Amino acid sequence: MTESPAASPDPDEESLALQDLGYRAAVIDLLGAIAYGEISAFDRLAEDARLAPTLEDKVAISSMAATEFGHVALLRDRLVELGADPFAAMEPFRHAIDRFHEHTAPSDWYEGLIKAYVGDGMAADFYREIAAYLDPRTRDLIVASLADAGHSEFVIDRVRGAIEADPRLGGRLALWGRRLMGEALTQAQRVAAERDALSALLAGGIDRPGLDLAAIGRMFSRITELHAARMSELGLDA
Amino acid sequence: MTESPAASPDPDEESLALQDLGYRAAVIDLLGAIAYGEISAFDRLAEDARLAPTLEDKVAISSMAATEFGHVALLRDRLVELGADPFAAMEPFRHAIDRFHEHTAPSDWYEGLIKAYVGDGMAADFYREIAAYLDPRTRDLIVASLADAGHSEFVIDRVRGAIEADPRLGGRLALWGRRLMGEALTQAQRVAAERDALSALLAGGIDRPGLDLAAIGRMFSRITELHAARMSELGLDA
């Protein structure tokens, strides 16, 4: 993170933090949301792989899918360790995440590539922002589960090549990127409105700093800037 | 393997064996076929995961898919090491493997589970039989790339439970298992007829023992017996 929020609890505070039932519920929510997000990303990437023009492209995107799925086990183990049923923890997020994917079903290979790269990147930025407010062990787990498998170069190479060959594609794909961002924000807002524990986490507590409105604004600015940087790497206007 | 063929070259013979262009072509064919088989199994398992009745079931079958895919990298690296283009090596097998999947698209979750377990098992038995005729390094690579991720128990548990709840299901699923076997043999025969290098490998050479008709018969008996054993573990007649 280039500009990371200040709150950063001491390692010894981990078990103490988790004794706070509200905090614990928020962590379970967050891990459940990320886990379902990865399962669902796996599913969609495997589906999008069928749009690949060559076997090599198909293998590259399938490999992104398999990497996403590889993170699920870590999250699941930690949920069990926290005494939660991992599948029950994922349940509250199924609707919003499924809805996001329904509304952003790629109509061709390039939309699929951009969604894989930009969509995944946005989600990762958002979870990393929240992770900064958590105990170090949870934070490290989240950061590890969001690590991308270095497929950015592949996507950038393919998208830039396609726009060079057909410049009109750039306009359509730029719109697509904005739509991905819009849909992600819509669904994130819905989740925030419904999940009290997560909202309380962001708001902070007596012993834990939270985010005031200005801080939330800065968080969204950072996420938007990172999104714009990714779009520009792809050769697209954000 | 309970009854493994006798041919088993010395480790030092590996590079010597690969200097034989016919042998080398056969190894490239075999690795290409297995790699495409795994990519394609990944694709189909990810698709079948959508039929899962619960999120837990979906995760279990998606995890089988991700494990299959994890083997592709090893095979691909070895193909590159042998100087082959991995994607060109897979190409000759796409049609037969795609055809197998088209003809065995599961119509429900249980057919999908049985296909994952029985279909994957059959393919692994077949490749392991052929691997016995190869240099040790290639053989070890093939055996490693066929290792299942211990999901058998999951499939056996689910299928047995479903048949207990609805005994009529057993008859339909037993037919399904026979159809999987029949389709696999049909496509395997087609590949054997088209790929001279693979057939020559099985036939042997001056310095390398091959399979006579009786040995081929015994190989198919072993594969059929292992198939029957798997069906019986599922509570189904083979």
Task: Please state, as a whole number, how many other Cβ atoms lie within 10 Å of the Cβ of residue B190.
Answer: 14
pLDDT: is B7 or B91 the higher one? B91
What is the per-residue pLDDT across A182-208, written as a single tens digit (0 to 9) for each?
Answer: 898 888 888 877 788 777 777 776 666
Q: Which residues contact A231 (CB under 8 A, 6 or more apart)?
A: A118, A174, A177, A237, A238
B66 CA: distance to closest CA in chain A (Å):
5
Question: What pLDDT is attached to residue A13?
Answer: 56
Q: Using 50, 70 and 90 to split pLDDT, how confident is the model at B195?
A: confident
- Indicate the DSSP class of residue B190: H
Contact A165, A150 (CB under 8 A): no
Burial of A24: CB neighbours in 10 Å, binned 0-12, 13-18, 19+: middle
A56 touches chain B (CB under 8 A): yes
Question: What pLDDT is attached to residue A168?
Answer: 93
Question: What pLDDT is attached to residue B13?
Answer: 56
What is the per-residue pLDDT across A125-151, written as a single tens digit (0 to 9) for each?
Answer: 988 888 888 889 999 999 988 877 667
Q: CA–CA separation, B28 vs A158, rounded Å? A: 28
Q: CA B219, B4, B115 angle in degrees (round to 5)?
A: 55
Do A87 and B50 make contact, defined as CB atoms within 8 angstroms?
no
Q: Does pLDDT of B203 surpass 80?
A: no
What is the per-residue pLDDT across B126-149, written as a single tens digit (0 to 9) for each?
Answer: 888 888 888 899 999 999 888 776
Question: What pLDDT is attached to residue A149?
Answer: 61
Question: What share of chain B in percent tops pLDDT 70?
Answer: 90
Q: Which of B62, B73, B90 sits opposite A39 (nearest CB)?
A: B62
Do A46 and B50 make contact, defined as CB atoms within 8 angstroms?
no
A46 CA: distance to closest CA in chain B (Å):
6
Q: Tokens 């479903």: give the residue.
A: B162
Task: Please state, as a whole number, how many other Cβ atoms lie within 10 Å of the Cβ of residue A48.
Answer: 23
Residues in B closer than 8 angstroms to A47, CB to CB, are 46-47
Q: Please give the residue of chain B at the shortest CA–CA distance from A70.
A: B66
**CA separation, residue A83 to residues A25, A76, A79, A88, B128 (Å):** 11, 11, 7, 11, 42
Residues of B (59-78) whose Cβ lies below 8 Å from A:
59, 62-63, 65-66, 69-70, 72-73, 76
* pLDDT beneath 50, residues of chain A: 1-9, 11
A149 touches chain B (CB under 8 A): no
The predicted model scores a pTM of 0.79
B50 touches chain A (CB under 8 A): yes
pLDDT: is B90 or B22 the higher one? B90
